[in-house]
């Protein structure tokens, strides 16, 4: 009988006719990624686990200050996540979230420079509009190159980030620079009346930027679900050829979608500036734009799951901060992002296959006690 | 025995959930035979061949090669044991040349470092040796479907396939190319090897095979010698009953609805595919377009639907001038179009049934409310489209990709009949459908004709065209070179399809490629 078992075929991987349940695999693989990356981070940083988890709890849900910061971070990630997720619906990659964020903040800060004495009820909306316009203008350039000249948008949007980074240094350093500051490049403060306060709820504080990001994201999501434009996007995303056949202005829609992504990232710039940093400078983004791409890919859409994923990545980011207190390098958090992303990618791949054992039925038959017990 | 039976399948069962795609199937292949595997779509032919070629592992049963039980780990492993498959849909890298595609992943050639000219030269030699010549310097996307398939056959043969499995190979080939393929199959057989020919085309199987196996509902219904088989018998085995036939009543054609004159259209490579073509369609008639695939039918149908802008010529529908205008203008003029490429152009696969059902009308006033899509009205229209072709309206949220080929085509046709109040342009509407689905579709088309719609019916099966059409035109190299009305002489149509002189066609092709 042993020989019989030995000759049976072994386990093998087989393609499924249809991929398995999307949500199950997505949630499962991200959860595995978070657990693995946390374990990995603890391992390499020599941190005491109980201390780490206590610190993490206090910096997220445990204490008001941590909670407020967590939501500020979530707001930025939600907006830059949208900046990547909306074009991704058409199969277009917007890696330029960082640059668009900086340009948005630039436009907003410029308004503050021009009208420093304007009342907050006028100046803040003006800053938001300026941020949206500047970021959209910035993102539409690679979009035009993509749509009309077929220039790969991944590379062009990425390269635009580097241009934007120099732009920030120039303006924050030379033009609007705070002469007193040494070391990091940053501008003067934004006009005092424009700083966004948080809304107290019990002991806790909800940042306005978070409320704004959730409302903006919600409106975009609803609009794209219900509108003719959203319908066109869904068909183009599924099959550009079918969209042409349906008479859709595919190119124009691609441009608008890219601009919309830019707007979202630009709004992340202005909310971050008016909530957290309060100055113009490189500190506005800690590679937030890139993290936004990861958030968008893992969320796989721009609905509520994007908010959940933004929150998850805010918490991972905070976990990285907590670890740096114990002496771990600050780059650790990117390793954690990366590990989570890899796990999620593996999860997406595994949806398409299953593991089968051709001999299992026969093996079960070869073990009468088990088969008998089952009956 | 191993000499006689290079490959045998014993009791192969393959389950997908509750569905048994294969149900204890036995099959023997002999050396030196062409073995046809016949059955309707979904009968389990492709699953069985996927098992034999190492793509799928059977849940039960064994595969014997040369009398010995083997476990096939992968298609590559199967190929090292001499079993090679040519798939129904060619799998090529579109951006690479034919020669590069031929040698890709083949370790006998240090691919990337070879000079391109040497690669092309070697590819041409192999093409000549196997009598499967094609333009080895053309990129994948420039090749016709037929050439792509020839390339794939060549790729499989050159890598030492002894048992050659061809999955529905003739559906994309011209009669001349089909004959070429049959010659090749016979040569392979005469060398003492085996060919498995998967098909749902009875006549072809009967003309080429030495033995025929008929499958139905995942089972091997019967394996018989060619000499014992005839059409009626095999048909009954395939469908397990009578073939439904489309009923038609002769109607008088009405006024001219669509008028095409001097139409010239380019293909994707920029060559003229339709040249100075003129054609009229009258209300209540079906004009069949016969012709070998690749003689401009695709470009013609796309131009007549506004999807491909003609470089010259007139397209008028009921007095409206349409040439050079957008798809939407054609839709507004009442021209419906069922394209050749259903799940790519005709339908958006990952989107829901209702979204697909309104695709050609989505911008119309009755479906919109300002910038918003009127959900209720959209669903209402979708239900109407779906009901018109007797599909279930319960699952409007199902992605179209989950539908069977026949149901997807019904949805597409239903939608285009809603659009095409005056003209219906149909490109290969029954291709790849099983017998009953095709019959349903033919009846639907005849009903549309009876309602007074002008129908242009492009198909590849001459029998089908003759059965359906009130008038038949033959397309040859972008022109209509013959027109038949009333009693149609099959042979004359066949001659027209081949051009005035068959050899002239070959010459013209080479010229075009040079």
Binary contact (B327, A245; C-beta < 8 A):
yes
Instruction: Report helix, strand or coil for B22.
Output: strand
Residues in A touching B339 (Cβ below 8 Å) = 245
Q: How many contiguous H segments (helices) and E segments (strands) does chain A have?
A: 16, 4
Distance (Å) from the alpha carbon of A73 to chain B's nearest alpha carbon: 33
**Is B348–A358 a contact, with Cβ atoms under 8 angstroms apart?**
no
Within 8 A of B349 by CB-CB distance, chain A residues are: 238-239
Q: How confident is the model at residue A262 (pLDDT cuts 50, 70, 90)?
A: very high
Q: B58 and A229: CB-CB below 8 Å?
A: no
On whether residue A232 sits in a domain, the answer given is yes
Query: What DSSP assignment string belongs to A110-158?
Result: HHHHH-TTS-HHHHHHHHHHHHHHHHHHHHHHHHHHHHHH---HHHHHH
pLDDT score, position A49 = 85
Q: Give B346 to chain A, closest Cα distance, Å.
A: 6
Percent of chain A topping pLDDT 90? 55
Question: What domain range includes position A188?
Answer: 68-306
Specify whether the CB–CB gap between B276 and B300 falls below 8 A.
Answer: no
| Predicted pLDDT at B344 | 87
User: How far apart are the C-alpha atoms of B477 and B481, rounded to whole Å?
Assistant: 9
Per-residue pLDDT of chain B (514 residues; tens, 9 = 90+): 345 678 899 999 988 766 678 888 999 999 889 999 987 766 788 889 889 988 888 888 999 988 888 888 888 888 888 899 888 777 888 888 888 888 877 665 555 555 777 788 888 888 888 877 888 888 888 887 778 888 888 888 888 888 999 988 876 676 777 887 888 888 888 888 899 998 877 778 888 899 999 888 888 888 989 888 887 787 777 766 544 455 555 566 788 999 999 999 998 878 889 999 999 999 999 999 988 777 899 999 999 999 999 999 999 999 899 988 988 999 999 999 999 888 889 999 889 999 999 999 998 888 888 899 999 999 999 999 999 888 877 788 888 888 888 889 999 999 999 999 999 999 999 887 777 788 889 999 999 999 999 999 998 777 788 888 999 999 988 999 888 887 777 777 777 776 653 333 333 333 333 3
What's the pLDDT score for residue A264? 97
Is B56's Cβ below 8 Å from some Cβ in A?
yes
Q: Is residue A5 part of a domain?
A: no
CB atoms within 10 A of CB A116: 13
Total domain count, chain A:
1
- Contact (CB<8Å) A235/B341: no
The domain made up of B7-92+143-239 has a fold known as Rossmann fold (3.40.50)
Of the residues A230, A239, A352, A366, the best mutation for testing chain B's interface (the one with the most B CB atoms within 10 Å of its CB) is A239
Q: What is the structure's pLDDT at A281?
A: 87
Please give the Cα distance from B498 to B476 (Å, whole number).
7
Q: Which residue of B has its CA nearest to A363?
A: B60
CA nearest A356 in B: which residue? Answer: B57
Give the mean pLDDT of A224-245.
93
Q: Which residue has the higher pLDDT, A310 or A17?
A: A310
Residue range B256-513 forms a domain whose CATH class is alpha beta
Distance CA B214, CA B235 (A): 9
Q: Domain map of chain B by residue range?
A: 7-92+143-239, 256-513
Q: Is residue A369 part of a domain?
A: no
Q: Which residue of B has its CA nearest to A234?
A: B351
pLDDT of residue B2: 42
Predicted TM-score (pTM) above 0.80: no
Q: Would residue A45 count as lying in a domain?
A: no
Q: How far is CA A172 from CA A107, A135, A160, A279, in A?
A: 12, 17, 18, 9
Contact A56, A326 (CB under 8 A): no
Using a CB–CB cutoff of 8 Å, tell me whether B366 touches chain A.
no
More confident residue, A181 or B209: B209
Per-residue CA distances from B50 to B40, B167, B213 (Å): 17, 10, 16
Please check whether residue B314 is in contact with residue B347, taking contact to mean a CB–CB distance below 8 angstroms: no
Residue B352 pairs with which residues in a beta bridge?
A: B399
Residues B292 and B242 sit within 8 Å (Cβ to Cβ): no
> Cβ distance A277 to A296 under 8 Å?
no
Domains B7-92+143-239 and B256-513 are alike in CATH topology? yes
- Cβ pair B371:A244 closer than 8 A: no
* 3 state SS of B105: coil
Q: A–B: how many Cβ contacts below 8 A? A: 89
Select the residue of B60, B71, B347 nearest A242 (Cβ to Cβ): B347
Please state, in angstroms and rounded to a whole number, the distance separating the CA atoms of residues A287 and A283: 10
Residue B35 near residue B182, CB atoms below 8 Å:
no
Position A373 pLDDT exceeds 50: no
**Cα gap B395→B445, rounded to integer Å:** 25
The whole-angstrom separation of Cα B347 and Cα B357 is 9
Asked whether the beta carbons of residue B348 and residue A361 sit closer than 8 angstroms, the reply is no
pLDDT at A181 over 70: no
Closest by CA to B357, choosing from B379, B330, B325, B342, is B379
Cβ distance of A358 and B345 shorter than 8 Å: no
Report DSSP letters for A173-215, one per residue: IIISB-TT--SS--BPBPPGGGPPPEEEETTEEEEHHHHHHHH
Question: Could you say which residues from 199 to 258 on chain A have a Cβ atom under 8 Å away from some Cβ of chain B?
Answer: 223, 226-232, 234-235, 237-239, 241-247
Measure in Å the smallest separation between the Cα of A167 and chain B Cα atoms. Answer: 37
How far from B166 is each of A129, A287, A341, B66, CA to CA, in Å? 62, 53, 41, 21
Task: Return the higher-pLDDT residue of B505 and A179.
Answer: A179
pLDDT score, position A19: 67
B339 close contact with A: CB closer than 8 A = yes
Q: Is B105 left (phi over 0), alpha (psi -120 to 50) or beta?
A: left
Chain B: closest CA distance from residue A90 (Å): 12
Q: How far apart (Å, rounded) are the C-alpha atoms in residues B7 and B29? A: 5
Phi then psi for residue A19, to 5 deg, are -65, 150
Q: Cβ–Cβ of A228/B351 closer than 8 Å? A: no
Say if CB A152 and CB A87 are below 8 A apart.
no
Contacts of B58 in chain A (CB under 8 A): 358
Q: How far apart are the first and last CA of chain B?
A: 51
Rounded distance, CA B356 to CA B354, Å? 5
Residue B205 has a pLDDT of 85
- Which of A17, A235, A358 is facing B59, going by the closest CB pair? A358
Q: Which pLDDT value is given to residue B279?
A: 94
Residue A81 belongs to some domain of the structure: yes
Question: What's the pLDDT at B502?
Answer: 37
CA–CA separation, B355 and A235 (whole Å): 8
CB contact A6 to B (< 8 Å): no
- Predicted confidence at residue B295, as pLDDT, reads 85
* Interchain CB contact of A63 with B (< 8 Å): no
What's the confidence (pLDDT) of residue B501? 39
Residue B345 at interface with chain A, using a CB cutoff of 8 Å: yes
Q: A372 or A312, which is more confident? A: A312
CA distance A67 to A314: 11
Q: List pLDDT tens digits, range A99-151.
A: 999 999 999 999 999 999 999 999 999 999 999 999 999 999 999 999 999 99
Mean pLDDT score of chain A: 86
- The pLDDT score that the predictor gives to residue A11 is 67
CB proximity A152 to B under 8 Å: no
Interchain proximity A247–B345, CB inside 8 Å: no
């Amino acid at each position: 009988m042993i020989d019989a078992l030995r000759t049976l075929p072994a386990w093998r991987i087989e393609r499924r006719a249809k991929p398995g349940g999307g949500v199950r695999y997505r949630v499962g693989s991200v959860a595995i990624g978070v657990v693995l990356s946390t374990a990995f981070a603890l391992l390499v940083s020599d941190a005491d686990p109980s201390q780490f988890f206590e610190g993490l709890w206090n910096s997220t849900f445990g204490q008001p200050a941590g909670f407020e910061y967590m939501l500020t971070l979530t707001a930025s990630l939600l907006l830059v996540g949208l900046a990547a997720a909306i074009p991704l619906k058409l199969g277009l990659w917007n890696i330029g979230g960082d640059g668009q964020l900086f340009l948005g903040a630039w436009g907003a800060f410029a308004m503050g420079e021009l009208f420093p004495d304007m009342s907050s009820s006028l100046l803040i909306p003006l800053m938001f509009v300026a941020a949206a316009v500047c970021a959209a203008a910035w993102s539409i350039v690679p979009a035009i190159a993509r749509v009309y000249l077929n220039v790969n948008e991944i590379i062009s949007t990425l390269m635009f980030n580097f241009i934007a980074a120099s732009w920030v240094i120039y303006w924050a350093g030379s033009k609007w620079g705070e002469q007193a500051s040494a070391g990091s490049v940053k501008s003067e403060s934004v006009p005092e009346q424009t700083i966004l306060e948080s809304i107290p709820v019990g002991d806790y504080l909800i940042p306005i930027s978070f409320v704004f990001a959730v409302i903006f994201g919600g409106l975009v999501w609803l609009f794209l679900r219900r509108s003719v434009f959203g319908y066109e996007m869904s068909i183009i995303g599924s099959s550009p050829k079918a969209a042409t056949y349906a008479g859709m202005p595919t190119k124009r829609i691609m441009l608008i979608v890219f601009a919309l992504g830019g707007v979202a990232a630009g709004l992340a710039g202005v909310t971050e500036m008016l909530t957290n940093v309060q100055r113009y400078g490189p500190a506005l983004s800690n590679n937030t734009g890139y993290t936004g791409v990861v958030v968008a890919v893992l969320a796989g859409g721009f609905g509520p799951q994007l908010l959940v994923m933004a929150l998850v990545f805010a918490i991972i980011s905070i976990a990285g901060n907590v670890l740096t207190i114990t002496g771990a390098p600050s780059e650790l958090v990117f390793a954690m992002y990366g590990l989570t992303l890899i796990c999620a990618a593996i999860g997406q791949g595994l949806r398409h296959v299953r593991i089968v054992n051709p001999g299992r039925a026969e093996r079960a038959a070869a073990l009468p006690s088990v088969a008998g017990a089952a009956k | 025995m191993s000499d006689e039976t290079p490959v045998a399948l014993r009791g192969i069962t393959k389950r997908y959930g509750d569905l048994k795609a294969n149900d204890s199937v036995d099959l023997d292949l002999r050396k030196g035979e062409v073995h046809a595997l016949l059955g309707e779509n979904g009968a389990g032919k492709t699953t069985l061949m996927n098992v034999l070629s190492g793509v799928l592992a059977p849940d039960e049963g064994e595969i014997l090669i040369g009398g010995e039980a083997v476990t096939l780990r992968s298609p590559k492993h199967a190929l090292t044991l001499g079993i090679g498959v040519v798939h129904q849909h060619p799998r090529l890298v579109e951006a690479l040349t034919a020669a590069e595609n031929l040698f890709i992943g083949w370790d006998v050639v240090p691919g990337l470092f070879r000079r391109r000219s040497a690669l092309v030269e070697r590819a041409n030699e192999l093409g000549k040796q196997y009598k499967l010549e094609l333009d080895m310097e053309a990129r994948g996307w420039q090749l016709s479907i037929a050439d792509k398939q020839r390339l794939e056959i060549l790729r499989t043969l050159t890598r030492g396939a002894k048992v050659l499995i061809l999955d529905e190979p003739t559906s994309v080939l011209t009669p001349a190319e089909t004959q070429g393929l049959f010659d090749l199959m016979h040569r392979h057989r005469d060398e003492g090897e085996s060919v498995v020919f998967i098909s749902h085309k009875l006549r072809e199987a009967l003309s080429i095979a030495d033995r025929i196996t008929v499958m139905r509902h995942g089972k091997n219904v019967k394996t018989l010698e060619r000499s014992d088989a005839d059409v009626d018998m095999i048909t009954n085995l395939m469908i397990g009953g009578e073939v439904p036939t489309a009923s038609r009543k002769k109607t008088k054609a009405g006024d001219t609805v669509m008028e095409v004159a001097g139409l010239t259209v380019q293909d994707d490579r920029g060559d003229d595919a339709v040249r100075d073509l003129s054609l009229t369609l009258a209300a209540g008639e079906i004009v069949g377009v016969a012709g070998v695939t690749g003689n401009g039918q695709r470009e013609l149908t796309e131009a007549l639907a506004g999807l491909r802008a003609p470089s010259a010529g007139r397209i008028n529908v009921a007095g409206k001038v349409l040439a050079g205008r957008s798809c939407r203008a054609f839709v507004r003029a009442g021209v419906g179009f069922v394209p050749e490429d259903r799940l790519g152009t005709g339908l958006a696969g990952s989107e829901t049934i209702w979204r697909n059902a309104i695709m050609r009308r989505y911008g119309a006033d009755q479906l919109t409310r300002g910038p918003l899509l009127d959900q209720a009205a959209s669903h209402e229209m979708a239900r109407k489209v779906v009901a018109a072709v007797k599909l279930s309206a319960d699952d409007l949220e199902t992605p179209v990709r989950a539908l069977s080929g026949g149901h997807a085509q019904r949805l597409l046709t239903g939608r285009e009949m809603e659009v095409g109040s005056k003209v219906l342009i149909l490109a290969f509407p029954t291709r790849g459908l099983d017998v009953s689905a095709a019959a349903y579709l033919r009846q639907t088309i005849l009903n549309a004709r009876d309602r007074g719609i002008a129908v242009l019916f492009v198909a590849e099966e001459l029998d089908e065209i003759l059965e359906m059409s009130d008038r038949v035109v033959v397309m040859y190299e972008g022109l209509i070179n013959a027109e038949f009305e009333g009693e149609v002489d099959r042979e004359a149509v066949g001659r027209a399809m081949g051009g005035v002189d068959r050899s002239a066609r070959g010459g013209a092709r080479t010229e075009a490629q040079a």
